[in-house]
Structure formats: C-alpha cells, structure tokens
Chain A
Amino acid sequence: MISGRLRFDTSHATEFVDLTQRVSDEIEKAGLRTGRIHLQSLHTTLGLAINENEPLLLRDFEHLLERLAPGDAGYEHDDFTRRFEVAVDEPVNGHAHCRQLLLTGFLTLLVEEGRLVMGRWQSVFAVELDGPRHRQLAMQLDGEFSPPHRVGRSAAQSAAGWGDETTQLVEMEITRQLMTDPDPVAVPMRRLMEAGGKRLRPKLVQLTSRIGPRQEPVRAASLAAAVELLHNATLIHDDYVDESTHRRGRPTVAAAEGAERAIAVGDYYFAKATRLIAELGNASVATTMAEALEAICASQIDDVAQRGAFPGDHDSYLRVVRGKTAALFAAACVSGALLSDAPADVVEALRRYGELLGIAFQMADDMVDFSPDSGKPIGLDIRQRALSLPLIYAAEDRSVGKEVRDLLAGSLGDREVDRVADLVTASDALRRVGDEARGLVEEAVREIEAVELDGLRPTLVGLARSAVDRTA
C-alpha cells in the first residue's frame, strides 16, 4: 500500500479539474501494475466525478448544479447569527455544501497493466464548488507493484521509520561518497563522521522530502548526505578557528593533522557538498543551500569579531546563532520540502520551524557545556570564550553577574573556568535558557500546525522537543 496526497489549486467558483493525467502519473510513479487507486476529497465543498471532458457538457453540469442548488436560494448554513463558532473568514457557501451532496467524495479506480482502466470518453474530475482554493485529495494505491518501486513508501510510513531504513540510506550514501574520495581528505572526514553526531540536519531533509507529491528517497538521501558533509566541513574550519583540540571525543582534524590539512579537508567537502547539491538539478534547492552557507560564514566572522565583547548580549547572540546554526536547520527543512515539490505555504512554514528549532538547538547545546552528564569536560565554551547564552545570562545575573564578568575579563585558567561554571550553575541562567529554548520549540511546533504535512507532524514535533531535552 502506498499513500499520499494529490494537491492542486482551483481558479473559479465552480470548476471541473481534470485529474486523469495526474492520477496516471501517480500510478506510474508508484509502479502499481495491477490494483486500485482510491481517492478521497478532504473538503466538504469539493466533489469527485467520472465523466466526459467536453467543455459544453461541463457548462451543462454547472447549470445543472445551479438549478438544483441555486446560489441565491437562501441557506440556513449562511445565517451566521444562528451558528456557533463561526470563523471570521467563514464563506457564504451553503449552496456549495448542498451541491457536494449531489456528487461523491470518494472514488476507487481500477489499474491493469500499469494503466488506469478508463472508458474512451471518461476522465477523472475534482469538482470545485466553492473556489478558488488550494485543494487536496487523499490517495491510496494498493495491489501488485513493480519491484523497483517497492522502496517508495508513504509519508506516514516513512515518518514512522525514519529512524531506521531512511537513516541507513543516508549513512550508506555518506559512506559511498567518502569511499570515492582521496584518502588525504576522506580519512580525516571519515574519522570525524564516525565519531558520532546527531545527524539532525539530514533527518530534517529526509522528513521534509516526504511531504510533497514528489517522493524520491534516493535523491533525498543524496541531498541529506550533502547537507551533513557541508555541516562537518564547517565544523572542521570552526575547530581550527576556535583552537579546539577535541570534537566528539576525538582530536579535531586541525589538532590531529595540522591547520593546513584541516583547511584543505574543509574546502574539499564544502565543494563536494555543493557539487552533490548542484547535481540534483533543482535550482531552488541549490540557491537555498548556498544562501545558508553564506549566512553561516558571515555569522562566523561576526562571532569571532564579538569575542572582544565576551560574553556579549542576547541580541548579538541571536544574530550570530541565526546564521551559525539556524540557517542550516532552516535550509535543511526547506530544501527537502522543495525537492518533493511541497506547496509554497508548507515550505515557508518549514523554514520558520527550522529556524526556530536551530536557535533552540544551539541554546540546548550551550547548556550541555554545564552538564556533568555530557561526557565532555565542563566549561569548554568558557575556556574558548565561545558564544554561550548561559554565560550571557549569568553575566547579567544580580547575584553572580559581577563576579562572572570580572572572571571573564581576566585570563581563564582551570580555577577560573571552574568558578565561572559553578556560578552559572548556581544562578538562574540555565533555567532561563532552558525555558527560552523550550518556548522556541513550542513556537516552531505552532508554525507547522496550520499546514498539511502528510502525517509527519508528530515526528517533526517529537524531533524538535527531543532536540532541546537532552544532556549530551
């Protein structure tokens, strides 16, 4: 069984939209050889019909609907003074609901030898009765499928399984890409990527690539792998800039191989990721990712520039984090959705979701620096004078703020770092950051409430909440 949505826009109040070719395309894409395709209207003023696509006949149908349920007949449904919970934009459309009652809301069509079984003059119509609007039909295909298409699964199925098969697909793609690269660049990158990482960005790509009507798991895996390579390429340069000696419990590329090698490895995978994205042949995806990369690089410059005013303030923190972390989260969401031809309103909602999630993720990451359960030495951000919201809040704190500021203004040895960490933990800073991060996640969740996500909302909500409720 494969399921999905068929989306389209109507342009008239009453309109017969011929979906025959779209339905045939879905059958071909799914590889259904013999079976059925079920269509169900998800609207109370959109009907379905099988009839002849002859323009004058379609006008006859319109006239028939008008005679049976005239627009000006007066409908109790349109008397808003007598109804409860009437939306501010509630249309006057009693006639459209009554007309829908004359049609059907669902169709089952037979498929044989990979083709829709239709009579010579038959076409499949969605009948708009209250347009123009954005519409969608739920669609399920069942029967015998061609072997190559069996991997194509519904969005809901994929949402349930993104943690296993789809993740494996990305891991396989990353491994495959690294195998083709020269050892001097592949070995350090492999070491970094094998050391772990949450793979949140590729997960976002994969999830959002299941939302639109065009679902291509292999291309989505390629994009997801490119995004992860790009992310790791930026980390390699970051570690050199921050003089970090360890990442994910292992020596950084700069520490292990030298700065020159680190720069070369970062550049190689920056270019490779860019190439993999270009090879997808989707201009919007390429532009989205390039803009994100530009934002990351610009904010890195701002980040370093602000270290003179360490620990900085909330506004400057947000400005940097929007570019440094959130831009790639947003781009991951947007590019996956674009790859699947998701509607523009969905893409925009996912962009906002990704940006808010990215900011919240960075805040949670800042808190991990003070967690004894993180597996990392406490106070690394303090030692590196890295941008950190808990430090900003602790420096503003009435009781410990002065001491924190004094300590940060001087040289930071082990004793000073430990003391600052103690002060941050003792203050209200971590609670404030946690509250703020969770608030942003809830805001992100609200951003995707109003759009159709083909069953993926619970997964995106769960992923967002788990991204901030962590200690490592």
Chain B
Amino acid sequence: MIRKIILLLFFAYSLFAYDATVEIVKKLDTLPKIAVQDASDATEDIGLRKKFFKILVGDLRVSAHFRPLGDYLQSSYEGSISENFLNKKNVDLILRFRLKSQDNLLIANVKLINASSGEVKNETNYKMQNRRRFPFLAHRIIVGINDLIGAPSIKWMEQFVIFSKYTGKRTSQIVVSDYTLSFQKTIVKGGLNIFPKWADKLQDAFYYTSYNGYLPTLYKVDLNNGQRKKIISAKGMLVCSDVSEDGEKLLLTMAPNDQADIYLYDLRYKQLERITKYSGIDVNGNFVDNDKKVIFISDRLGYPNIFSKTFGSSGIEQMVYHGKNNNSVSALDNYIVYSSREKRSEFGGNVFNLYLISTKTDYIRQLTANGKNLYPRFAQDKDTILFIKHFKNQSSLGVIRLNANKSFLFPLKVGKIQSIDW
C-alpha cells in the first residue's frame, strides 16, 4: 500500500514539476494520511508536548506531501493493537514520538508505523542540546519522515530565518528564527539595525546595516564567536542586497555620491565597483546566472521595474513586462519572483501581490491575492518562497509551496517585519 502511495506521489510530481509558473488547479488525492501520536511519559511537560505536536502537524501540512490528522492522540511508545491500527480514522501512517527531557537536553524517539499492518517502518532517535530550540527538532523529524517516503526534499524547513523588525521610531531588532516563528532569538538590538543577510549557505554569519553611527555602516557578525567586523560605511544609505555563491562578493545598494546605485564589493581585495550608473533609483541587486549577471529594481522607465545587466557589459535588459510598480525581486536559476503594486493609488483592496515568472517561458503566475506581500525570497530549493505579508495591522512571515499551490502565514506578535533572509 505504502509503495503504491509513494509511486503515485512520484508520478504526481513528475507531472507538475516541470514549470513552477504553471499553476496546479487539481491536486491528486493520493497523499498519505498520517496521524501523530504523543507517547511521552506523563511526567513530561504537557505544554511542551502539545506545542511539539502542533509543529509536527503544521510541518506535515506545509510539506504538502501528507494529509495530517489534526487530532492530538496519545499512546504508549510500544503501542497496542488499537494504537497501531487506526482503522476507524482511516489513516495510512502513524508518526509516534516520545519526548524526554534531561536537564537542557531534549530527546525525541520517533517511530513511523504502517497503520494498515501495524509494522514499524522506521525508528530514529533525535536529540537537541538546547530545549528552547525544540521547533528545529520537530522540523528535523518531519524532514526525516518526508525523506523516508521518498518525497521531494523539504530540507528548507531546517533553514534559519533572519529578519529585522521595527519596534519603534528609528528602532529595530534583528532576530533569528525558524520559518514558523515558533523559535525566536533577538541577536541585535538598540537603535536602527536593518537589512540582515546571511553571509553564506551555512548560516554561520550575517551582514547587516547599522544606522547608529555617523554614517550607515555594514557589519558582518560571526555567530560562532559573536565577533562583529566592519565591512564598509557609506553616506546616505547602505544595503547588502545579495551575497555571491562563494561568499566572496556582495551586491550593495549605496550612494557615495548621493545617488543610489548597485555596487559590487569584493571582500578579498576590498574593491568596490559601481555596476549601475543611472540618475534615478537602482536598488535590490541579485546575483543570477552563476553570478555572471545581476537583476535589480530600477525606476528608469518612470516606475519601479526589474532589469538585468551582465557584469562587464554596459547593456541593460528589461526582465518584466507586467505591472506598473515592481519594487522587490528575488531570483533562483531561471525563476524570478517579484512584488507588484496592483494600483497606482495608495488605496484599494489588492495592494502588493507576488508574481512568478520563468526567463524561459512567457507565463506569469500570481502567487498571492490580498494584503501587502513583499520581499519574496527563494529557499535553497526553488519550490519554496518566503515573504513578508502585512495585512490588517498584522505582520507575518509567509511561505509559498509552489508545486502544491499552497501558502501559509506565521504572524509576528510584536513589531513590523522590515526585511528577511533565509
């Protein structure tokens, strides 16, 4: 039975994974139905167990590879006949977890059970040194379960998100979190600290701009030892928009001559090269095409839109022919996701929506329908996009699963999200 489900799942993905700009309107109803059972001892903190359960079920749902049962079920870890065969609930799989706390160590014993045969398909033990980071333990478990059924990787769930949030006038904080905001740790506070950007894929260091000195200054913070290093200062404004694949070059938006342009900064040689020379606004540079090219936002047509330029050449190419205010962009391989204002007025129901295009086809796919959807960022795979949503005074992190055509929101309780990276 499980094999058939897996085969069908693969078949489903092979059908619609060719072009992410093509929207799936009918989903195959073949995803395995899965129940989550809490088999922790009664002495374990019930609050933690329920939060853990909630994150597991949420992750299963966001993966879009399972149909999770939302009921909070308890069981023994070994399992009785009634616990191993959930015939009444018509489920295919059971994910059973047992949490154990040992001082600050959190251990999770996890079983994946075939609910039709009662057979334990897999058993794995996980542990985490810091109990506060339990959301990452839950994400790791679901990434593992997902791998077991052979579905496309959802390893992005383990990526750290870094974001800046406004907490007051000229005041912001930089926070590291998981994608659901269940875990949050403030790492820079006091004054105006904005535009955090991971320094590399390992997420061991990040860049950010401090507005607390005489000039806006870009710093790099090493998370392993907490050391902060000044990279560059500039008059007017300074943003680290992107980091090259090898981590050696930065795309900066800065204005040493009062003019916001895209600059390439070589960290090895401390060399700054001006990439764009337009008298209006050029911002938000992104490396594309193996770092040979940059896409960026410019108002050179009289409104913000998306353009590209190959390093070393002078030609500028318009990338998007839709919308009259495309003010934020991110790219991965041949896909471009951007935020577009739907109306020229500042009023109106639909304000900023996200769109996805492929540089190889003419399709445009609308990804959101209401609110202000800004700052889209691809995950390390091109099936998942993180973005900021502001809707009715609520600021949220949004996640879009392109192949499944689903989006999820994770609201921030305090503050307004300024920018994100992951």
A binds B: no
